[in-house]
Structure 1
């Protein structure tokens, strides 16, 4: 066999395989997600959010019903690509917990839950600089970034989060664009 023919065949085969892989990934991202299963994951989402913002001397994410906020945001305000990534991420969390600890995420200890989320945070970390901007523009936010973003937004806009987790002044008075905080002082919600 001639080297040119072999090289052409190799390139043709490699290009075809890359096109098939890209088409399959594109199909996975843009297919219509089965969002009717999302309420079935409510307990898992609540425990994931509670692992991100646990109850301490202030209320945790479950106390603020962040799971309801996350479900609403995924169903109504998230693009199809990110909905699919989020649904796949929930399945991945369960599979990873089962593979690592031989139990579901809900049955894991606090330390094991923290380790599972640390794995997903490390796995889903975006590149820095221009490469990160391009990655985010092309592929969107990852599962963990979406989960963490909606958890923090839901907590900070809830009554428990705004009044007990953050400093809340019902009538804030004049606007101060830059105010120094004393050590141990809470951030302002208003």
Structure 2
């Protein structure tokens, strides 16, 4: 590995170490915000409506809560506000505009104003034209990662916000708090199979 790659890798690892606790704080702060009085911090109201519509279509409410129920759109706005630098923020706004321009050219209006069938077509097209995340081992990319594009990045952030929300973590996924409850003096047959540590 040459010096440039080593420095780049070290910088990305340091950024991940700093960003991890920040993201947990962002998730917690979204839980306390009411949807009625939500004012986006970075996104404009039109951009916020765009993000809300896309995350609602990716993760709609079914028998489990949807993305809007756990405030994924608010989480994404906070990610853009606190974790993106000025260039990243400018790129997000440029990409939202480009996405809406493509919708106007192909379907006649901005994404949020389209019929549901045209919105589905627009998302299917974005899915087909987006790059794929490369393989990784424990968060470290293997090989040369390809750019994934705006839509895939937004979708990934939406999934991340959804599955790490407290409501989904506790009520939908299997929840095993660490450290678990202490149960002393159990008979060996109550413990079940051997447990790995």
**Could you say which TM-score interval applies, normalised by the shorter chain?**
0.5 to 0.7
Q: Does 1:42 align with 2:53?
A: no
Q: Deviations over 1:52-104 (max 9, x none)?
A: 11111111111111111001101111244433332122112211222222132
Of residues 92, 99, 110 in structure 1, which corresponds to 2:98? 92
Q: Deviations over 1:98-146 (max 9, x none)?
A: 222213211223332222122222222158689972544xxxx521122
Which protein is bigger by CA-based radius of gyration?
Answer: 1
Q: Does 1:123 align with 2:129?
A: yes
Query: What TM-score comes out, normalization by structure 1 length?
Result: 0.59
Q: Aligned pair in 2 of structure 1 residues 71, 164: CA closer, same or farther (>3 Å)? A: same
2 CA distance for matches of 1:134 and 1:169? 34
Residue number in structure 1 paired with 2:13:
none
Query: Across the two proteins, how many residue pairs are aligned to each other?
Result: 139
CA contact (8 A) 1:86 1:146 kept: no
Residue number in structure 2 paired with 1:133:
144
Residue number in structure 2 paired with 1:5:
none
2 CA distance for matches of 1:152 and 1:142? 16
2 CA distance for matches of 1:51 and 1:127? 21
Higher helix share goes to which structure? 1
Query: What TM-score comes out, normalization by structure 2 length?
Result: 0.58
Runs of 5+ consecutive residues of structure 1 not aligned to the other structure: 1-34, 179-190
Q: Does 1:52 align with 2:58?
A: yes
RMSD: 3.2
Residue number in structure 1 paired with 2:12:
none
2 CA distance for matches of 1:36 and 1:171? 33
Q: Does 1:143 align with 2:150?
A: yes
What is the CA-CA distance between 1:47 and the residue it aligns to? 0.6
CA contact (8 A) 1:39 1:71 kept: no
Runs of 5+ consecutive residues of structure 2 not aligned to the other structure: 1-39, 136-140, 182-194
